[in-house]
A and B are shown apart, each in its own frame.
Chain A
Amino acid sequence: MSVPVQASEALDCAIEVEDLAIRYHGKLALSRVTLQVPSHEIFGIIGPANSGKTSFLRAINRMDLMTAGMEVSGSVRVEGRDVRSWRNPYALRQRIGVVFPLPVGLPLSIYDNVALSSRLRGMRKKADLDLIVERCLRRAALWDEVKDRLDSLGSLLSGGQQQRLTIARALSQDPSILLLDEFSIAVDPVTTMRIEEVLAELKSEMTIVLVTNLVQQARRLASQTAFFLTGELVEVTETEAMFEGGAQDPRTTAYVEGKFG
């Protein structure tokens, strides 16, 4: 059964957030966020710890449903439709790939990790699955390292490999939106650069929201960047302008210049 997607007129916005506020057990974690994420671009989110970046991502794919005490108010529209109007939130999550800060190789084989999403959706044919697994591992720049041991446990790969496995798994969902939450925290610099190259290629096919604690990473990848500070959105600016002294708020300039945070 297909859920009709009400295509909004302005389809160049993949995510539209209006007056979003998030509370945990009544305590405000993020408030008054209004922003638009344009399609097929990398949208950066920077800010120090506890600024609400991760909470923001969790509201997009409706993780509030499985987090005790998390309340979301305001509206989050994905591809023109409010995420809370989905009757089947699992179907919404399938359209949104998520990469967590610490790599989570599920305790399954490398093959099964990448095939899991397709299998959950009922795909059984080995040939089809083979194709998806190879394509996604190639796009995540992991195929050459693991093609001879697809049967070994994904959870035994190194941190950097596991993070690329996680990205391959997210890609296997064929998502229209990819959310990355500080993906490079547990990854060495060389792997980080490889993943960044992958992301730069992927943006032609999907919208990417990149939460990062490395301001230079946002500068390298994002076309627009949002700065979050202690639960509030300070501003959204073209990335280059933000780093060239064109930020609207002095706190942003201070943060990107490394004066605090």
Chain B
Amino acid sequence: MPETAHAADRRDAAWWVDRAVQILVLAGGLSAIVFIAGIFVFITREGAGFVFDRFDFREFFGSPRWTPTSSHNPTYGALALIAGTASVTGLAMVVSVPFSLGAAIYIGEFATGRVRETLKVLVELLAAIPSVVWGFIGLSIMNPLIIQVFDVPVGLNVLNAGVILGLMAAPIMTTIAEDALKAVPDTYREAAEAMGATRWQVTFKVVLPAARNGLVAATLLGVGRGFGETMAVLMASGHSINLPTSPFDSVRALTATIAAELGETAAGSDHYGALFTLGIFLFLVTFAINFAADVFVRGGQRKHRRRGRRPAASANP
């Protein structure tokens, strides 16, 4: 027996709008994945020729000799470049972790009212300074300063690039770390304060442990930022191939090498492929760092959700 349609059962405008929006957001979400995958495929394809024909694992990771333009014996040792990036990023973290954690703790736990709001806006403004401006500061302010203070011949070195990169990464790390602190429920703070804990004891004994995952994630994202930063490092590091032995050695970063050399190479040449191989390496490292940060953030969220559920569930017996 055929069912007669209910009078109210028809697909009205709201139904069609809902369907259209669902398809639109699905397309938006998919496109993000497609673009990332597309970038990876492109980089891999461009680097593939080099990786299969010319790539020598021991040379790439073991030799500091990067002489791709040598006419008789080009070598592609990336060790010095990796060391350059690693040393600059490492120093940057030494600079930015205390600054950003301190700022986040002040904004999140100590400052109140207008001071707090002003600081938050300022920090976000700092995060918007273009990297070339930071590079310019490295060149024109840090460079003479380092020469003068430390009495060294060149001021464009690991120290310069590390400090510049650290200052550059600090605002975004501060913002993320402050979010992590904000995710800690106020009831924890109140409970601890009611016990007679001082503000600092509350922060140190209760809030920081509770926010630990988010803070680690903030640091990892800062590392990822440092690893991938190009322009500021290119301008401030001295851009000379070196295995650094002191903070006053000039170095060259992976990213800066690609930026500086890619325009000079013939598409499809070994040099071209080698630069893309550096790109693959960078991509994998930043991917790993971001993935790790994500895992930490998720770990933190799960803990909070479980904490949040308990009292609510038992509130209605």
Contact = CB atoms under 8 A, between A and B. Distances in A.
A159 B196 contact: no
Interface in A110-125: 116-117, 119-120
B306 interface: yes
A94 B196 contact: yes
Contacts of B54: none
Given A104-B188, A107-B188, 11 more contacts: A66-B193, A90-B197, A96-B194, A100-B194, A102-B315, A116-B195, A120-B195, A159-B314, A162-B310, A169-B195, A173-B196
Contacts of A169: 195
Interface residues of B, number: 27
A160 B315 CA distance: 10
Interface stretch (B16-24, B165-173, B205-213): B205-213
A173 B193 contact: no
Contacts of A61: 194
Given A155-B310, A185-B315, A107 B192 contact: no
A106 B315 contact: no
Interface in A58-90: 61, 63, 66, 68, 90
A154 to B, nearest CB: 10
B303 interface: yes
B128 interface: no
B31 interface: no
A120 B196 contact: yes
Contact of B314 (A66, A91, A100, A187): A187
A96 B195 CA distance: 7
B314 A106 contact: no
Contacts of B298: none
A68 B111 CA distance: 12
B170 to A, nearest CB: 27
Interface of B: 112-113, 187-188, 190-198, 201, 205-206, 209-210, 303, 306-307, 310-311, 313-315, 317
A188 interface: yes
Closest 5 CB pairs of A and B: A159-B314, A94-B196, A93-B196, A104-B191, A98-B194
A120 B191 contact: no
A106 B196 contact: no
B117 to A, nearest CB: 13
B202 to A, nearest CB: 10
Nearest to B307: A155
Contacts of B315: 102, 159, 185-186
A173 B195 contact: yes
A47 interface: no
Contacts of B311: 102-103, 159, 162, 186
B193 A166 contact: no
B205 A156 contact: no
B292 to A, nearest CB: 22
